[in-house]
């Protein structure tokens, strides 16, 4: 066997080893959440305990007035930068807002929420998810929003670029109509001064919001994508193996 053939065989041997796909997990709802409302308070804090692998915190808000949307959100133990992923607003009747906090440090802490005016009621639902990307778990460009136009009481929202292992997380509400639990998987179904509903679906399917009346043009909903944590990138050539390694 020539030296060239030995080197060639060695090359393909290493390529075969290092390009074996590595398993990646799926985004999962942890079952940990807290929901309530505050009135005339800003900032306010929400307690929760973060645990599990590759966590992300998702905060759903429904301020009674559109001018009182959240302006800042943070995790007390440290995290990536909180992102306002999606907002659907119709005057003072449907103000749906969802934030995402990537890579929150594990432990018992609080999420702090600052709103624009602090003069009205804000309903909220804070959820812990695991198995999520720690750098960009909730792309703003993939989110979907909806405000009713008086022609339909039901809407299915499917974020773009969903892949196997991802999750769709939804938030719907109204202050003038009655809302139904989100499907297929409801997390919160709150009926009060304003209704707040949250729920989710997995993999590549969206989520459905529905309301009592099809003639009300002040119901709103948003759906965001949570991106699954990726498997490690495989090196596919000998130069990468002998140099800096996989990127």
What confidence tens digit (pLDDT) does each residue in 113-170 have? 999 877 678 899 999 999 999 999 999 999 999 988 777 889 999 999 999 999 999 9
Find the distance separating the first CA and the last CA of the chain, reported in whole Å.
34
Question: pLDDT band at 245, cuts 50/70/90?
Answer: very low
Does an H or E element contain 240, and which? Answer: helix 238-242
What are 34's two structure tokens? 């807290």
Highest mean predicted confidence (pLDDT) among 25-29, 127-131, 210-214, 228-232: 127-131
Beta bridge partners of 99: 59, 84
Closest CA to 96 of 167, 29, 195: 195
Question: pLDDT band at 74, cuts 50/70/90?
Answer: very high
pLDDT score at 58: 98
- Specify whether the CB–CB gap between 124 and 36 falls below 8 A: yes
Q: How far apart are CA 60 and CA 228, in angstroms?
A: 20
- Count the alpha carbons within 13 Å of 23 in the hemisphere toward its beta carbon: 3
Helix, strand, coil tally for the chain in percent (to 5): 10, 45, 40
Q: How far apart are CA 219 and CA 199, in angstroms?
A: 16
pLDDT score at 3: 53
List, in sequence order, every beta strand (DSSP E) within the chain.
Answer: 28-39, 44-50, 56-63, 70-75, 83-90, 94-102, 107-115, 121-130, 144-147, 154-157, 167-174, 185-190, 195-202, 207-210, 219-226
| pLDDT over 60 at 31, yes or no | yes
| pLDDT over 80 at 99, yes or no | yes
Q: How far apart are CA 161 and CA 225, in angstroms?
A: 8
What does the pLDDT average to over 231-237?
34
Q: CA 1: distance to chain centroid?
A: 57
Question: pLDDT band at 222, cuts 50/70/90?
Answer: very high
């Amino acid at each position: 066997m020539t030296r060239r053939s030995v080197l060639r065989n060695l090359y393909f041997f290493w390529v075969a080893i290092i390009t074996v796909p590595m398993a990646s997990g799926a985004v999962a709802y942890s079952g940990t959440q807290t929901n309530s409302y505050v009135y005339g308070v800003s900032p306010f804090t929400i307690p929760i305990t973060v645990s599990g692998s590759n966590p992300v915190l998702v905060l759903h808000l429904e301020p009674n007035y559109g001018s009182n949307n959240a302006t800042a959100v943070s995790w007390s133990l440290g995290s990536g930068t909180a992102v306002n992923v999606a907002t659907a607003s119709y005057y003072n009747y449907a103000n749906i807002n969802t934030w995402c906090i990537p890579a929150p440090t594990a432990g018992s802490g609080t999420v702090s929420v600052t709103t624009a005016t602090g003069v009205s009621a804000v309903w909220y639902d804070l959820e812990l998810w695991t198995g999520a990307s720690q750098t960009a778990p909730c792309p703003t460009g993939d989110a979907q929003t909806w405000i009713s136009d008086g022609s339909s009481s039901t809407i299915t929202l499917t974020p773009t670029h969903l892949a196997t292992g991802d999750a769709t997380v939804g938030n719907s509400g109204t202050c003038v109509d009655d809302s139904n639990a989100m499907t297929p998987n409801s997390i919160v179904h709150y009926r009060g001064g304003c209704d707040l509903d949250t729920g989710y679906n997995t993999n590549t399917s969206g989520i459905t919001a529905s309301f009592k009346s099809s003639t009300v043009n002040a119901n709103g909903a948003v759906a965001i994508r949570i991106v699954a944590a990726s498997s490690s990138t495989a090196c596919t050539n000998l130069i990468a193996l002998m140099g800096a390694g996989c990127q």
